[in-house]
């Protein structure tokens, strides 16, 4: 886990406290001491700083965010590297993310349409620039009222945003993202475009009006739902006209070609379908399956925080985004559980190491020589002179004798 940098300085930013921790970064509440303004400072995790791939992704996030100028996208102020720490400084949004509002129960149709229309506008602008967000979810939609009377929305977290890419993968082939709102083509690693984000927006429409994501359960169940199952009929969970089921069904079609032309068209169709519904109150819940999020939280979402602390999109679970192996093919998914009990990841390396140690011991025993006979005490090899009864030992013989020549 990365060290808490609270109380330290990075460049001209004084770090005041932790806002949230993600899988590849920590976001702090900080103060720009030059301008005297509060910012959200996103710092790459120290354990990932040497990883070239994560550094590249972090830099991409800064570039993607800085290239976008829209009222509903979190503004980026600064990006740099100091003492090996990469950081992004962005606007500190004072409010709550959309997932926090949904946890309180279904939203009213009017509020849902107002919030998601802003998200749709931001996404369509992004798609017009050839970019795909690839991580559209309630936790990345920040809601604040400070800009005016109505609630204002900011789309955040562009760490997975790509241009003309296939479903995002690491170099080792892992899927990197949050599967709760992920489109089938994204999960399969197929080509993605603006309709991929539209699928996630349609899932968010379902969540806002029902208080729960379309598919629930463990990771495997959620992914199997997105790959193979039809989104449940919303009108069977809450008191809404069946026309909204058709809108969500089209927006979440498994075939991207069958979806709407853009995100705004999806929201406009939802507005027409909900035109006859009382806009001032949340839809009544129907049946035992309805209600807010279950006791077991969905795959993605914010971490619990202390009362009064911001709970927005900066606040992510440590395991988010989820690293998953892509499915082998449609209908035969690598995420499908089998009857066999999987061994832990450390099992194979430990067994291999134990076998290697045993082999080394056997080789040493086989190749070691047998018992050697006792060695005789070592005697000096130097010659000795015997003079009478006295023996002078260990005295070398002279190698030369001086000869005096006579004339």
Hey, where are the domains in the chain?
9-91, 96-324
The pLDDT value given to residue 210: 95
The pLDDT value given to residue 177: 66
DSSP H helices, 252-311, are: 263-273
Low-confidence ranges of the chain (pLDDT < 50): 1, 166-167, 288-312, 315-342, 379-393, 395, 397-401, 403, 405-407
Question: What 8-state DSSP symbol labels residue 225?
Answer: H
E runs forming strands in 92-221: 96-97, 131-132, 141-144, 152-155, 162-163, 175-177
Where b means 16+ CB within 10 Å and e means fewer, 136-161 reads: bbbbbbbbbeeeeeebbbbbbbbbbb
Report residue 402: phi and psi, to 5°: -70, 135
CB 353 within 8 A of CB 244: no
The pLDDT value given to residue 185: 93
- Under CATH, which architecture does the 9-91 domain have? 2-Layer Sandwich (3.30)
pTM attached to this predicted model: 0.68
Cβ-based neighbours of 137, under 8 Å, separated by 6 or more = 99, 178, 180, 181, 200, 204, 300
CB 277 within 8 A of CB 238: no
Which one, of 171, 179, 187, 177, lies nearest residue 54 by Cα?
A: 171
Phi-psi region of 331 (alpha: psi -120 to 50; beta: other; left: phi over 0): left
Report residue 144: phi and psi, to 5°: -140, 160
The pLDDT value given to residue 383: 47
By the 10 Å C-beta count (0-12 exposed, 13-18 middle, 19+ buried), 239 is classed as middle
96-324, superfamily in CATH?
Transferase(Phosphotransferase) domain 1 (1.10.510.10)
Q: How many CB atoms lie within 10 A of CB 391?
A: 10
Active site residue 51: no
The pLDDT value given to residue 148: 62
User: Read out DSSP for 171-205?
Assistant: TTS-EEE-GGG--HHHHHT-B--HHHHHHHHHHHH
The pLDDT value given to residue 46: 63
The pLDDT value given to residue 40: 93
**CA atoms of 352 and 218, how far apart (whole Å):** 32
Query: Structure tokens of 108?
Result: 């009213």
Candidate list 16, 51, 80, 135, residue with the active-site label: 135
Residue 42 counted as an annotated binding residue? yes
Round the CA-based radius of gyration of the chain to a whole number and report it.
Answer: 34
CB 189 within 8 A of CB 197: no
């Amino acid at each position: 886990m990365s060290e808490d940098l609270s109380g330290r300085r990075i460049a001209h930013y004084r770090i005041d406290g932790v806002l949230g921790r993600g899988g590849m970064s920590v976001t702090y509440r900080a103060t720009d001491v030059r301008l005297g303004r509060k910012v959200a400072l996103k710092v790459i995790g120290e354990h990932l700083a040497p990883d070239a791939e994560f550094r590249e992704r972090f830099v991409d996030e800064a570039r993607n965010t800085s290239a976008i100028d829209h009222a509903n996208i979190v503004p980026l102020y600064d990006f740099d590297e100091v003492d090996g720490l990469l950081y992004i400084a962005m606007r500190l949004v004072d409010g709550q993310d959309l997932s926090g509002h949904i946890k309180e129960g279904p939203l009213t149709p009017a509020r849902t349409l107002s919030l998601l229309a802003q998200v749709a506008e931001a996404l369509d602008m992004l798609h017009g620039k050839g970019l795909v967000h690839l991580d559209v979810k309630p936790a990345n939609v920040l809601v604040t009222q400070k800009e005016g009377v109505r609630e204002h929305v900011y789309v955040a977290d562009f760490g997975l945003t790509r241009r003309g890419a296939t479903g995002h993968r690491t170099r080792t082939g892992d899927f990197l993202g949050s599967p709760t709102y992920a489109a089938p083509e994204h999960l399969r690693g197929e080509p993605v475009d603006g309709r991929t984000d539209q699928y996630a927006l349609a899932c968010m429409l379902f969540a806002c009006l029902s208080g729960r994501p379309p598919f629930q359960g463990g990771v495997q169940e959620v992914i199997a739902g997105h790959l193979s199952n039809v989104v449940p009929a919303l009108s069977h969970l809450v008191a809404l006209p069946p026309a909204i089921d058709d809108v969500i069904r089209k927006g979440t079609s498994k075939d991207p070609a069958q979806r709407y032309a853009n995100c705004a068209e999806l929201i406009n169709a939802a507005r027409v379908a909900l035109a006859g519904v009382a806009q001032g109150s949340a839809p009544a819940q129907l049946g035992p399956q309805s209600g807010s999020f279950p006791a077991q939280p969905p795959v993605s979402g914010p971490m619990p925080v202390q009362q009064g602390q911001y709970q927005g999109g900066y606040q992510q679970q440590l395991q988010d985004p989820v690293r998953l192996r892509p499915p082998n093919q449609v209908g035969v998914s690598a995420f499908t559980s089998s009857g066999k009990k999987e061994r832990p990841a450390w099992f194979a390396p430990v067994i291999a190491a134990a076998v290697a140690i045993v082999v080394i011991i056997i080789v040493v025993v086989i190749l070691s020589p047998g018992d050697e006979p006792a060695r005789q005490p070592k005697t000096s090899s130097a010659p000795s002179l015997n003079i009478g009864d006295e023996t002078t030992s260990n005295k070398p013989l002279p190698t030369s004798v001086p000869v005096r020549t006579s004339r």
